[in-house]
Amino acid sequence: MIPFIQTTLDGLMVGSSYGLLALGFALIFGVMRRLNLSYGPSIMVGAYLGTLLYIQFGAPTYVVAIVAVAGSVMAGVYVERLCFAPLGVAAGVASMVSSFAIWMQLEQASLLMLPRHSYPFPSLTSGELLSVGPLVVRPDYLIMLAAMLAITAALHLLLYRTRFGVAASLSGIDVRSTMLKAFALASAIGGVAGFLVLSANQQVTAMLGMWATLKGLIAMMIGGLGSIPGAIVGGLVLGVIEVHSQTLFGPQVRDLAAYGVLFVLLVLRPGGIFGTAAVSESAARRGGDRWTTT
């Protein structure tokens, strides 16, 4: 029983990183009904800028964190200004496709900055495990879990207790400004997620952009399109599935099991655990792309 509990705990710790990544996707989709495929590469830009300062100038960890978040925000704003703002609120598919094109641009810019496959990244902790009775946890993953919960609570207050949240939920209120703020905030969350994940792994690789996009998107789809609580639950579920699959069948089955669960869930409940998604017939006849989530 203890090995099962330990594996589940490990899955929840890993899932907290996926939940953080999914929060950015859920914020954009929940506020603007848009899917930003350049989310992961934007995180990669910030992470590579922080890494460059670390390996070239020995920048302290807190400076790397600030630069990683700031770089992600700048890249996210760049994507919004180039792919989303010019196309308007009714061009969801076109903006998604254009964000995929910018994915390649941001990824290549990062690789030109640091061309090797992997580089060292500063750690937040000493790496020593914490014992809780017969169980052990990594302190860096505890920090990640705490960050996920704190950001979720802050997002709830922002969306339901501030003028930004009101503007995001009403029509006719400076949509362009609201979209820009949502992208900047989502990119900041992604920058925090990227920094915490990399500090736990103590390295950054060229696969970061694709990995962050896939894990965040899958976690959001499992939890529910545009749902903030769903992003958290989806990330935790994804982490538990992956770690248990790896323990039972080996690392080569880890991603396959996660994709299999996602496929089954989308067949049985297309909107994810916390919601349903459908396109109205009238919107479809008009060629619209407005999704409703409940």
Per residue in 183-193, pLDDT (tens digit) is 899 999 999 99
Q: Could you tell me which residues come within 8 angstroms of residue 95 by beta carbon, excluding any fewer than 6 positions away?
A: 34, 83, 84, 87
pLDDT digits (tens, 9 = 90+) for 12-51: 999 999 999 999 888 888 777 778 889 999 999 999 999 9
pLDDT digits (tens, 9 = 90+) for 192-244: 999 999 999 999 999 999 999 999 999 999 998 888 899 999 999 999 999 99
Q: Which helix (H) or strand (E) holds 251?
A: none
pLDDT at 287: 42
Q: Which domains does the chain have, with CATH numbers?
A: 2-286 (1.10.3470)
User: CA-CA distance, 40 to 209, in Å (whole number)?
Assistant: 4
User: CA-CA distance, 282 to 280, in Å (whole number)?
Assistant: 5
Angle at CA of residue 163, ends 273 and 46, nearest 5°: 65
CA distance to 78, 165, 181, per residue, from 159 (Å)? 23, 4, 12
The pTM for the full model equals 0.86
Which of 106, 107, 148 has the alpha carbon at shortest distance from 21? 148
CA-based torsion, 261, 16, 178, 209: positive or negative: negative
pLDDT digits (tens, 9 = 90+) for 61-86: 999 999 999 999 999 999 988 888 87
The first and second tokens of residue 219, run together, are: 């976690």
Picking from 122-131, 168-177, 232-241, 264-273, which range would have the lowest pLDDT averaged per residue? 168-177
Averaged pLDDT for residues 167-171 = 55
At 53, the pLDDT band (50, 70, 90 cuts) reads very high
Which of 237, 198, 207, 202 has the alpha carbon at shortest distance from 221? 237
Q: Is the pLDDT at 294 greater than 60, yes or no?
A: no
